[in-house]
């Protein structure tokens, strides 16, 4: 989790130490740094995930201060991170003999045994570390033990220790952040949000915390809160590309394509060769019927990857809108060669066949879609409509009965089925499905008149309509 935090290294003194150390490395000179400064240098490289520089600094520091326990502990820590548990334990065993009351030795030994799967041995050392702590640093000890479990993805155990640390010091920002993170990983979004909020009370300018809480709000479908959180992340860091990208995706899913385009274009400013961003921009332009711009972005994506299925598909959809059906068919088929079970591609190919009046091919594609994705009600509707238009009304009714097995409460499936039943003079069944459709959603009523205009003359249909429309006036 260290790579996601931005509360560290704000001290000018620490940054000056790093600058002086790097200047020494660049000039191949030899400056003096005390043990504390080497700890800061090593921690800095560890927290920016530059492992090789952290190791070099630790080894350099050890040569300068060979009797330093603190630097040897850093080396042991780095060996654990590198997966060299036996070497780390060897160092820690020596240190334990020298400083048997140093709780840091036992935390690291516990972490090494934990990573080796020796949980009882790890627990023994963790308990020893806790027993040696005093109140001033108990929260840090508990926090570091929790981090040992978090690194192994044992999130529930990590939470147990983080909560103990939180009880000791409810304002420790590391504890708050990692509690939020672990609760997210165990799918408890409400608790995750609670602790991110607490963390942001302590550090309101942490862009990563705003981004993370935005992602959780997105998962729980609170779009307004998610957008607000991403806006805070962007306000703090105007080059936060992931925040632009996620914000754009939400706006696109909400069909607010003009606003989504603004965010995607900002994302491309930062990551200009991102293939999927080009595809999503192309889709936004396609949805707003700006086909020339859409084609430009799909074609740009294909210059980066000629086999990008989404770009081929998007271009194929634009060609369908432009009634260039043979080109559309070829492009979508190419996309399906890359991703053969993509129901969105299959559905679009069915539409292309349908518009070319190649009904047998269209039936085949729609049938495949509903077999792979039986909750795709639009595919069921198109499948049945095509059969109905071909005069195969009985088959269309059978298809919609199957659709109801998966989409029982879908108003549009039910009212289309009712309409076809009325056309077939099966009035009793039609009344049942009309009643069910309107109980789900009265806005579908216009579909009835489109397929069965005679509905206005049927007293039973009128009664059903009056019952539901009076209960749910629009």
pLDDT tops 60 at residue 473: no
Q: Average pLDDT, stretch 120-124?
A: 90
Predicted local distance difference test score (pLDDT) of residue 50: 86
Residue 7: pLDDT band (50, 70, 90) is: very low
User: Does residue 214 have a pLDDT over 60?
Assistant: yes
Does the structure show a pLDDT above 80 at 216? yes
- Residue 417: pLDDT over 70: yes
Pick the closest to residue 184 from 164, 171, 199, 203 (CA basis).
Answer: 199
Instruction: State the pLDDT confidence band at 1, using cuts at 50, 70 and 90.
Output: very low
- Predicted confidence at residue 5, as pLDDT, reads 45
Per-residue pLDDT of 438-462, as tens digits, reads: 999 988 888 999 999 999 899 999 9
Instruction: Write down the pLDDT at residue 460.
Output: 94
Tell me, what's the pLDDT at 470? Answer: 78
Closest to 1 in 3D by CA, of 248, 199, 174, 201: 174
* pLDDT at 474 exceeding the cut of 70: no
- Give the pLDDT confidence of 336-392 residue by residue, as tens digits: 999 998 999 999 999 999 999 998 899 899 999 999 999 999 999 999 998 998 899
What pLDDT band is residue 72 in, cutting at 50, 70 and 90?
A: confident
Residue 435 has a pLDDT of 95
What is the overall mean pLDDT for the chain?
91
- Quote the pLDDT of residue 11: 66
For residue 9, what pLDDT is reported?
41
Which is higher by pLDDT, 7 or 170?
A: 170
pLDDT value at residue 204 = 95
Distance CA 139, CA 162 (A): 8
Tokens 């859409």 belong to 294
What is the reported pTM?
0.77
Position 83 confidence tier, pLDDT thresholds 50, 70, 90? confident
pLDDT, tens digit, 9 for 90 and up, residues 400-412: 999 999 999 999 9
Please state the rounded mean pLDDT for residues 54-62.
87
Residue 177's contacts (CB-CB under 8 Å, 6 or more residues apart) are: 1, 4, 5, 195, 196, 199, 209
Position 8 scores a pLDDT of: 44
The predicted model gives 91-99 an average pLDDT of: 84
When pLDDT is cut at 50, 70 and 90, the band that residue 278 belongs to is: very high
């Amino acid at each position: 989790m260290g790579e996601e935090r931005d509360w560290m290294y704000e001290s000018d003194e620490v940054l000056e130490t790093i600058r002086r150390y790097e200047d020494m490395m660049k000039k191949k000179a030899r400056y003096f740094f005390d043990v504390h400064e080497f700890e800061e240098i090593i921690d800095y490289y560890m927290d920016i995930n530059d492992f090789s520089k952290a190791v070099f600094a630790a080894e350099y520091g050890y040569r300068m201060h060979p009797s330093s326990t603190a630097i040897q502990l850093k080396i042991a820590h780095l060996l654990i991170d590198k997966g060299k548990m036996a070497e780390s334990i060897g160092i820690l065993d020596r240190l334990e003999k020298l400083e048997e009351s140093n709780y840091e030795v036992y935390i690291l030994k516990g972490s090494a045994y934990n990573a080796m799967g020796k949980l009882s041995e790890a627990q023994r050392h963790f308990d020893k570390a806790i027993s040696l702590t005093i109140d001033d640093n108990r929260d840090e000890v508990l926090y570091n033990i929790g981090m040992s479990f978090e690194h192994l993805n044992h999130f529930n155990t990590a939470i147990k220790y983080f909560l103990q640390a939180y009880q000791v010091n409810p304002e420790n920002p590391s504890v708050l952040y990692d509690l939020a993170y672990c609760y997210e990983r165990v799918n408890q979004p409400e608790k995750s949000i609670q602790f991110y909020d607490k963390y942001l009370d302590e550090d309101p300018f942490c862009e990563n915390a705003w981004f993370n809480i935005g992602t959780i709000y997105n998962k729980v479908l609170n779009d307004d809160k998610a957008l607000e959180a991403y806006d805070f992340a962007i306000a703090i860091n105007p080059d936060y590309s992931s925040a632009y990208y996620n914000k754009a995706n939400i706006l696109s899913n909400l069909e607010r394509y003009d606003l989504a385009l603004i965010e995607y274009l900002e994302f491309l400013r930062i990551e200009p060769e991102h293939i999927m961003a080009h595809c999503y921009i192309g889709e936004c332009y396609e949805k707003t019927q700006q086909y020339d711009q859409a084609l430009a972005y799909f074609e740009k994506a294909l210059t980066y990857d000629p086999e990008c299925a989404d770009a081929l598909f998007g271009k194929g959809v634009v060609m369908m809108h432009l009634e260039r059906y043979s080109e559309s068919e070829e492009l979508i088929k190419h996309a399906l060669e890359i991703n053969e079970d993509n129901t969105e591609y299959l559905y679009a190919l069915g539409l292309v066949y349908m518009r070319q009046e190649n009904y047998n091919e269209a039936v085949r594609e729609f049938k495949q879609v509903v077999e792979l994705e039986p909750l795709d009600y639009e595919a069921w509707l198109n499948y049945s409509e095509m059969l109905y238009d071909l005069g195969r009304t009985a088959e269309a009714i059978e298809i919609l009965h199957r659709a109801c097995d998966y989409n029982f409460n879908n108003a549009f499936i039910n009212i289309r089925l009712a309409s076809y039943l009325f056309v077939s003079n099966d009035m009793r069944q039609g009344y049942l499905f009309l009643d069910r459709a309107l109980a789900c959603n009265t806005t579908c009523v216009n579909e009835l008149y489109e397929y069965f205009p005679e509905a206005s003359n049927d007293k039973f249909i009128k009664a059903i309509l009056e019952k539901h429309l009076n209960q749910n006036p629009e």
